[in-house]
Structure 1
Amino acid sequence: MGKGASSLSEGVMKKILLSYAYVGIWIFLSFTVIVYNKYILDRKMYNWPFPISLTMIHMAFCSSLAYLLVRVLKLVEPVAMSRELYISSVVPIGALYSLSLWFSNSAYIYLSVSFIQMLKALMPVAVYSIGVLFKKDTFKTDTMVNMVSISVGVAIAAYGEARFDSWGVILQLGAVAFEATRLVLIQILLTSKGITLNPITSLYYVAPCCLGFLFIPWIIVEFPVLKQNSSFHLDFVIFGTNSLCAFALNLAVFLLVGKTSALTMNVAGVVKDWLLIAFSWSVIKDTVTPVNLVGYGLAFLGVAYYNHSKLQALKAKEAQKKAAQADEEAGRLLQEREGEGSGRRTESQG
């Protein structure tokens, strides 16, 4: 008995430690990509303010590596994807992903890392609102009140922002809206059809699509400026390691969600945001005002309550599923016993 309990506790402890390891890896890589992108794009740091070009470099790198893993090395099996399904499902998702990445990277030129993380607290609000709009989620008054409290907190944080830039805020809010729509469309267009993409197959199908969509604004907006700036030479160490970090982050997301849950990533995201705010204030020397912290604190409480509500809903759904399985098992056993009893009565009559 003691040995069984010991092995059980060891197994549980191993799972907990692995979960913390997945969370730690994801936080580290997400943290690294955000700070690295800020370093490259900020005019006061590396001073390469070309967000479309940076996003295209990421997508080209990820497309090439995904193709190598899927088609050349055959380490990952491709998904059965018809041309019609690709055009109707993957293309819209790729378009939204390209816009989300372009706008979010552009925001780093105008806003501090800390303030961007505060604005990202609006993601649950955007996902829930768009989910209700597309009828993937049901409208609930208490959930909407929660969403309003998060929005109020972010508004207070914005009011107290020392480096407030209207254009930067519009870009970041646009990025949140595009990303939230993309997440809802993944559920509608892919998950509902029974198609699940891991990060390698996701990049294999989506990254080239993103590259194509980004090429049009790049030709119009950034290519003429880069052409004039002939003295610039691409630093393969900087951009290579930056792209590798972006690719690794995609793998870390799959690892975290696949081995734990999307809810765990949401909770870990809150921890990452606080760490980034602290890093932005202490290392990058961004100004973080008391009003910023009060506003984000309110938004943080709203997000924490939202995550708690989702966890309770998941537990209730799991309990209901187990109860239904138990009822089904009990019904089956009862039928078997009734069948045995009927057989015995027939034998005794004979």
Structure 2
Amino acid sequence: MRVSLSGKLFTVSLISFWYASNIGVLLLNKYLLSNYGFKYPIFLTLCHMMACSMLSYIAIAWMKMVPLQTVRSRVQFVKISSLGLIFCLSVVGGNISLRYLPVSFNQAIGATTPFFTAVFAYVMTLKREGWLTYMALVPVVTGVMIASGGEPSFHLFGFIMCVSATAARALKTVLQGVLLSSEAEKLNSMNLLMYMAPVAVAFLLPASIIMEEDVLGITIQLAREDSTIVWLLLFNSTLAYFVNLTNFLVTKHTSALTLQVLGNAKGAVAVVISILIFRNPVSVTGMLGYSLTVIGVILYSEAKKRNKRERDT
């Protein structure tokens, strides 16, 4: 009984930490990029990826949290690099969107990930789901359309970047299944992050230098005036790594399906907290649209679970 209770307490603590890191990094990104006035989303993403590179190496190579998996061929490295680029674009797009959109609307758009995943899975692998699964995607998309029409802080460029980031996130998930499908090439998410993050850094460093003129000089100047920015960036970047670490650990100690359900609830929690903190205006139409999207995602998850049971029997 004690073992069972301690195991449950550990799982609950893990889920709580996963929620805190996910929502924390989202709100801190919004604060830095919008309220604080640090308008450099590419550089912010670069900091995230540098932290992910270093901390994932420490966790795997030094702390032995999971066995070290090696890259076995040049072809596998190219595949991982492709995933790294798409991962990088999804994070940059999400951070750029936070400059223009409130967290609540950002999360509403992000909830459409299952729609893009289903589309890419069909286009790239010709994998078909049951008709109920596709029907469940209708309220997902309809909800975002309603939320967009009722969003007081709607910004077209921010909307496009957020949709692009959501699509890139879904594309990475599908491509990961296609490119690393053989047993010899499969990597767990922690090892994959360790190899993808340096690739992302290689892409982001020149992009930040070219597109965000003198960002390093401006950051140093800000740090001289007020060291708070240094601690904010360090904490934010570390939190970004813990999002990936806790994501892996929650999946390991529960299941991928549980993670999906918890993720749906997390989005709703993030919306409520962001509205309370940033006090961004929301409309009844916008909240109804977001609620419809969440209901659609839940129905989609249930339909997929039902299809899986039918295939297994």
TM-aligned CA deviation for residue 50 of structure 1: 0.4
Alignment-mate amino acid for residue 80 of structure 1 = T
Who is 2:282 aligned against?
288
Stretch deviating more after TM superposition (226-235 or 302-311): 226-235
Contact 1:23 1:265 in 2 (8 A): no
Aligned pair partner of 2:300 in 306, 311, 332: 306
Distance 2:73 2:79 in 1: 10
Who is 1:34 aligned against?
26
TM-aligned CA deviation for residue 139 of structure 1: 4.7
Contact 1:63 1:208 in 2 (8 A): yes
The change in CA–CA distance for 1:205 and 1:150 in structure 2 (over 3 A counts) is same
Equivalent runs, 1:177-192 vs 2, <5 Å: 177-192=167-182
Alignment-mate amino acid for residue 235 of structure 2 = T
Report % sequence identity: 28
TM-aligned CA deviation for residue 13 of structure 1: 6.1
Alignment-mate amino acid for residue 194 of structure 2 = Y
Distance 1:314 1:252 in 2: 26
Distance 2:187 2:63 in 1: 18
The change in CA–CA distance for 1:15 and 1:67 in structure 2 (over 3 A counts) is closer
The change in CA–CA distance for 1:149 and 1:84 in structure 2 (over 3 A counts) is same
TM-aligned CA deviation for residue 210 of structure 1: 0.6
TM-aligned CA deviation for residue 271 of structure 1: 1.1
Deviations 1:262-320 (A, max 9, x none): 211111111111111111222210111100111112111111111112233344455x3
Aligned pair partner of 1:269 in 263, 274, 285: 263
The change in CA–CA distance for 1:251 and 1:94 in structure 2 (over 3 A counts) is same
The TM-score normalised by the length of structure 1 is 0.81
Contact 2:209 2:215 in 1 (8 A): no
Equivalent runs, 1:318-333 vs 2, <5 Å: 320=313
Compare CA radii of gyration and give the structure with the larger one.
1
The TM-score normalised by the length of structure 2 is 0.90
Who is 1:173 aligned against?
163
Alignment-mate amino acid for residue 39 of structure 1 = Y
Distance 1:312 1:259 in 2: 22
Distance 1:243 1:301 in 2: 32
Distance 1:159 1:304 in 2: 23
Contact 2:208 2:215 in 1 (8 A): no
TM-aligned CA deviation for residue 228 of structure 1: 6.5
Unaligned runs of 5+ in 1: 1-6, 321-350
TM-aligned CA deviation for residue 31 of structure 1: 0.7
Aligned pair partner of 1:243 in 237, 243, 253: 237
Alignment-mate amino acid for residue 25 of structure 2 = V
TM-aligned CA deviation for residue 189 of structure 1: 1.2
The change in CA–CA distance for 1:69 and 1:260 in structure 2 (over 3 A counts) is closer
TM-aligned CA deviation for residue 102 of structure 1: 0.5
Unaligned runs of 5+ in 2: none
The count of corresponding residues between Structure 1 and Structure 2 is 309
Distance 1:54 1:105 in 2: 8
The answer to which structure, 1 or 2, has the higher relative contact order (CA under 8 A, 6+ apart) is 2
For the residue of structure 2 that corresponds to 1:192, the secondary structure is: coil
TM-aligned CA deviation for residue 133 of structure 1: 0.7
Contact 2:76 2:185 in 1 (8 A): no
Contact 2:43 2:215 in 1 (8 A): no
For the residue of structure 2 that corresponds to 1:91, the secondary structure is: helix
Contact 2:93 2:161 in 1 (8 A): yes
Deviations 1:204-227 (A, max 9, x none): 211101111112321220134554
